Every structure is written in C-alpha cells, then in structure tokens.
Amino acid sequence: MSDAGFSDAARTWNQRFSRDDYIFGEEPNVYLRAQLGRLKPAGRVLCVADGEGRNSVWLARQGFAVDAFDIAERGVAKARQLAARAGVEVAFEVADCDGWRWPRSHYDAVAAIFVQFADPAMRARLFERIVAALRPGGVLVLQGYTPRQLDYRTGGPPIESHLYTAPMLRDALGALEVVELREYEADLAEGTQHFGRSALIGLVGRKP
Ligand SMILES: C[S@@+](CC[C@H](N)C(=O)[O-])C[C@H]1O[C@@H](n2cnc3c(N)ncnc32)[C@H](O)[C@@H]1O
C-alpha cells in the first residue's frame, strides 16, 4: 500500500486486528512499564491509539483509572476482551484522534505508544491536544521509532516524516519539561509486528 494504510486508517487497522492473536502482544510496552515509578499512583491515565489494549489493561492492573481510545473497532473489541480476562475496567472508546472529546487539564498521565500513524500536521494537532489534556504536573510517556528504523524495518511506518528525532520532539513538545529523552536501540518482542532489533526513542515530559 503506497500510503502505508494512512488514507483509511480504520479499515487498514481493522484488517490487521482481524486475527485472533494480539499482534503487538498482550504485555505492555517495555518503555512504558519502566516509567511506572514516574506516574502518580492511582491517577487518571489516557492511552492514545491504544490498539488491542495491552498498555491500558496493564495500567488498569497497576491501579490507575484508565481511559483509552483507538480508531479501529476491532482493536477496541479485543482490548475489551483483554480487560475482561484481566478482571479490570478501562473506559474504552472507538474514536479518531482528530475527533475524540479531549478533556482539558484532566489526566495525570498520557501514554502515547507507537502513534506514528500521524503525519507532521496530524502530529502537531495530536501533541497540542495531549499537552492540553494533561493536568499541571502530569506526564506524557511517548515511545516511537527514529529514522534509523528505516534500516531495520522491524516495525513502524516506513516513512521518515512520521518518525521522531530527539531535537524534533524537544521542539514539538516544548510546552513540557523534559524528564527523559533517549534515543536507543533494543531488541523488541512485541507480538509479531514489533519484533527484532529496533531504533527507538523514549520521552517522558512533565507539564509545568
Ligand atoms: C502501531 S499501533 C499501536 C497500538 C498501541 N498503542 C500499542 O502500543 O500496542 C497504532 C494504532 O493507532 C491506531 N490509529 C491509527 N490511526 C488513528 C487515528 N487517526 N486515530 C486514532 N487511532 C489511530 C491504530 O488503529 C493502531 O491501533
């Protein structure tokens, strides 16, 4: 597909999620898990483009009050099943990030894990909404791929303008205090879709 499925994201992702297995696995993203100590205990957390729910369900299991949305209803249906199996509640919604209700100054944390479907214009809108949704003191946990990932091709969109560099994130998220911003390489084993040597970037930013 020439645009990597971005022109009809719901259809593309519903197809990807039509398998019975969890294509990014059932365990949370490793970078998100490592940030647990930086999140306000029992706080309100939003998972943006949460897919099949591995991150939202894990956060709910840690005692957070979790809202989550994704454009793909098939992904959200699988996320609901994962939450039911774990015996936790997550407030799931099917929504496009450009159309979601985005409460302001509401969340103690936002998890944006591999949301690189967003082109630069959508990304600017998305980051602005995330920052506005955080309460003062709230943190954003963001994980993505850097352009070096184009050499590995072990996950993520093969389009450079969707990928992140440290200076780009510093600039785009200038409204946040950077707690951590790290480009690194690691071997991922997140289902079948994020698997193998990967060029990653992780950011934790706090709203002043
Ligand atoms: C790489 S997956 C990551 C899923 C999840 N964050 C995770 O880490 O397992 C990207 C997700 O973005 C969702 N998505 C794509 N375009 C979207 C949009 N415009 N609004 C909301 N979600 C979108 C897809 O349905 C998919 O679940």
Beta bridge partners of 156: none
Query: Which pLDDT score is estimated for 115?
Result: 98
Q: Whose CA is nearest to atom 10 of ligand 1?
A: 115
| Segment 49-58 mean pLDDT | 98
The model's pTM is 0.96
- High-pLDDT (> 90) share of the chain, %: 90
Distance 110 CA to ligand 1 centre (A): 14
| Segment 67-76 mean pLDDT | 98
What six digits make up the tokens of 90? 């997550």
Q: Residue 2: pLDDT above 60?
A: no
CB 143 within 8 A of CB 204: no
Query: Which pLDDT score is estimated for 22?
Result: 97
| Segment 88-102 mean pLDDT | 98
| Each residue's pLDDT tens digit, 171-196 | 999 999 999 999 999 998 888 888 88
Ligand 1 pocket: which of 12, 56, 70 to mutate (most atoms within 8 A of CB) = 70
| Each residue's pLDDT tens digit, 104-138 | 999 999 999 999 999 999 999 999 999 999 999 99
d(CA 57, CA 49) in angstroms, rounded, equals 13
> If DSSP codes are grouped into helix, strand and coil, which group holds residue 171?
helix
Average pLDDT, the chain: 95
Q: Residue 155: pLDDT above 90?
A: no
d(CA 25, CA 11) in angstroms, rounded, equals 21
Q: Whose CA is nearest to atom 12 of ligand 1?
A: 49
The one-character DSSP state at 119 is -
Q: Which of 163, 204, 152, 154 is nearest to 182 (CA)?
A: 204
Distance 54 CA to ligand 1 centre (A): 12
Query: Which pLDDT score is estimated for 194?
Result: 83
Query: Which pLDDT score is estimated for 191?
Result: 84
> If DSSP codes are grouped into helix, strand and coil, which group holds residue 111?
strand
CB 91 within 8 A of CB 66: yes
Ligand 1: which residues within 6 Å by Cβ?
9, 13, 24, 29, 49-51, 54-55, 70-72, 75, 96-97, 113-114, 117
Give the pLDDT band of residue 163 (cuts 50, 70, 90): very high
What six digits make up the tokens of 16? 């990807």
Neighbours of 154 (CB within 10 A): 17
Query: Which pLDDT score is estimated for 189?
Result: 85
